[in-house]
Amino acid sequence: MLYLVGLGLSSVEDITVSGLKAVKQCSRVYLEHYTSILMSASQAELEEFYGKSVTLADREMVESGCEEILRGANSEDVAFLVVGDPFGATTHTDLVLRAKQQNIPVKVFHNASVMNAIGACGLQLYNFGQTVSMVFFHETWRPDSWYDKILANRKIGLHTLVLLDIKVKEQSYENMARGRLIYEPPRYMSISQCCEQLLEVDEKKSIKAYTPDTPCVAVSRLGSPTEAFKAGTIQELANYDAGEPLHSLIILGSQCHELELEYLLDFCDDREKFKKDVAKDREYFKPEPVMIEEDPEEEEE
Sequence ranges of the binding site for S-adenosyl-L-methionine: 9, 85, 88, 113-114, 164, 222, 247
Residues with Cβ within 8 Å of 76's Cβ and at least 6 positions away in sequence, in order, are 26, 27, 28
Report the candidate in 286, 271, 206, 219 with the shortest Cα–Cα distance to residue 247: 219
Please tell me whether residue 210 adopts helix, strand or coil conformation.
coil
> Within the chain, where are the H helices?
17-24, 43-50, 59-63, 67-70, 90-101, 114-117, 146-155, 173-177, 191-204, 234-237, 258-264, 271-282, 296-300
Task: For residues 147 and 280, give the distance between their C-alpha atoms in angstroms, rounded to a whole number.
Answer: 21
Look up residue 141 and give its amino acid: W
Please tell me whether residue 67 adopts helix, strand or coil conformation.
helix
Count of residues for the chain? 301
Edge-to-edge strand list for the sheet holding 228-233: 132-134, 160-164, 247-251, 215-220, 228-233
**Quick one: CA torsion of 36, 72, 111, 162, rounded to 10 degrees?**
30
Sequence ranges of the binding site:
9, 85, 88, 113-114, 164, 222, 247
Task: For residues 92 and 62, give the distance between their C-alpha atoms in angstroms, rounded to a whole number.
Answer: 8
Q: Point out which residues pair with 106 in neighbouring strands.
A: 2
Task: For residues 279 and 272, give the distance between their C-alpha atoms in angstroms, rounded to a whole number.
Answer: 11
Task: For residues 197 and 210, give the distance between their C-alpha atoms in angstroms, rounded to a whole number.
Answer: 13
